[in-house]
Amino acid sequence: MEATWGWQYVDFYPDEIREQGRVSEAEALAAFAAFPWEAQLQKLSQRQREGRTSTLPGVWFRRGSEYLLLTSPDDLTVLLDYRVGEKHYPGRVSLNWHAHTLDPEDIIQMFFAGTLPAWPGWNYMEPYVPLAPPPTILSYTSRSRSPWSALLPPAGVVVLALVLAVVTPLQVSILLGGTLVGLLLFGPAARLNWQYLQGGGQQVEVDVVHHQLTLHDRHGTLEFGREQVRDCVVVRTRPRSRSFQGYQYVCFVLTNHQVCVITHHTGPSVAIAEAMGVQYRVEEPGFPSIYFRRLSDAELEVAEQEHQQRILEFERRFASYTDAQLGAIVSEPERYASHAVAAAGQLLQSRTITKA
């Protein structure tokens, strides 16, 4: 009996699968063997080193109410996700020689034979019935506050120093030293708070089903879907940092070069990124400064002109590249600049049209 099958790569959206049609048992085994496990695990390791989230690479099979997903987090483990209706059977197969008892191919064969529920290696989970359906729209709001309020602590230090200079006989060197220490204590936090308060007064709505985000702020309204997101980064304070604990923001860099920054004053960064259904990278600097900025229409036009110019430059540079070299650039967009990927893609398309 045949089943529908498909696969997923590490750079897929979390809910993205590629259906490949129907296969017999022999064809399913061949598809599993032909999957580029080594290349995908290398890319997974690279993305983990870069702090990027990823989808575990793997293949899946579906037949009626049965669904089997085989994924791999490393070269010694295959994770199993088997579902029959509302019943869920998670499990794993170890490829380590001293713990090896079963091959993934055996799991696939049992799936086609209809005997997979009887495998004793499952960790059966009772079907979970939610009390209420999850929300389809997430809404977050931050109140508008003046960034100038962030300067009150360091301004207080300066005022105190001036008062002490007038009413006490302290030496100037002592007052200057005390003022410097006070500014060093309160200055960095004030600068950070100034940046984050400038992003106040935001209203954010995320359509979890269609992965659309709408942002209303002092710049106007910005709407985009996840297909328009070129990069997503969550910047947050290091876990052990006490000075700036809680400061974080999520930034969406769009394909038209626009930037959307949402701080923790508005909503939880990771939750917003995951609601958009995109892969993102995490940065944990010691000083979580906001180094992205919303662009004006004029700046967007200039950025697009510069982008097109760079594409032309890379097209000339890539003219002598083979199709395989260009394909490698297109298949790994996270490793190359956007104009380099665009140039490689346009060259491949033009060669295909010429050959046709």
Those residues with Cβ within 8 angstroms of residue 350's Cβ, 6 or more apart along the chain or in another chain? none
Dig out the tokens for 303 from the structure. 């950025």
Residue type, 321: Y
pLDDT at 53: 94
Place of tokens 């109140």: 143
In degrees rounded to 5, what are phi and psi of residue 167?
A: -100, -5
The C-alpha atoms of residue 18 and residue 44 are separated, in whole angstroms, by: 18
Q: Give the closest residue to 59 by CA, choosing from 43, 74, 67, 70.
A: 70
Answer yes or no: is pLDDT of 129 > 60. no
**DSSP code of residue 330:** H
Share of the chain above pLDDT 70, in %: 95
In degrees rounded to 5, what are phi and psi of residue 25?
A: -60, -45
Answer yes or no: is pLDDT of 270 > 60. yes
Place of tokens 């989808």: 55
**Average pLDDT over the chain, rounded to whole?**
87
Confidence of residue 99 (pLDDT cuts 50, 70, 90): low
Residue 52: helix, strand or coil by DSSP?
Answer: strand
Question: If 0-12 CB within 10 Å is exposed, 13-18 middle and 19+ buried, where does residue 159 land?
Answer: exposed
The C-alpha atoms of residue 23 and residue 29 are separated, in whole angstroms, by: 9
Contact 90, 125 (CB under 8 A): yes
pLDDT at 330: 83
Q: Which span out of 54-63, 187-196, 294-303 was modeled with the highest average pLDDT?
A: 54-63
Residue type, 115: T
The C-alpha atoms of residue 66 and residue 77 are separated, in whole angstroms, by: 22
Lowest mean pLDDT among 78-82, 142-146, 202-206: 142-146
Residue 233: helix, strand or coil by DSSP?
Answer: strand
In degrees rounded to 5, what are phi and psi of residue 134?
A: -65, 150
pLDDT digits (tens, 9 = 90+) for 211-241: 999 999 888 899 999 999 999 999 998 877 7
Answer yes or no: is pLDDT of 8 > 60. yes
Average pLDDT over residues 245-273: 92
Sign of CA dihedral 115, 116, 121, 124: negative
Q: How many Cβ atoms are within 10 Å of 148's Cβ, its own excluded?
A: 10
The C-alpha atoms of residue 94 and residue 116 are separated, in whole angstroms, by: 17
pLDDT at 130: 58
The C-alpha atoms of residue 247 and residue 336 are separated, in whole angstroms, by: 30
Average pLDDT over residues 241-267: 89
β-partners of residue 59 are 7, 70
Contact 58, 70 (CB under 8 A): yes
| Confidence (pTM) | 0.77
The C-alpha atoms of residue 37 and residue 133 are separated, in whole angstroms, by: 36
β-partners of residue 251 are 233, 261
Answer yes or no: is pLDDT of 356 > 60. no
Q: Give the closest residue to 291 by CA, choosing from 224, 219, 235, 238.
A: 235
Maximum distance among all Cα pairs of the chain, rounded to whole angstroms? 95
Average pLDDT over residues 81-95: 88
Domain ranges within the chain, ordered by starting residue: 3-118, 146-197, 203-295, 298-355
Average pLDDT over residues 256-262: 90
Answer yes or no: is pLDDT of 295 > 80. no
pLDDT at 354: 64
Those residues with Cβ within 8 angstroms of residue 23's Cβ, 6 or more apart along the chain or in another chain? 2, 3, 4, 5, 31, 61
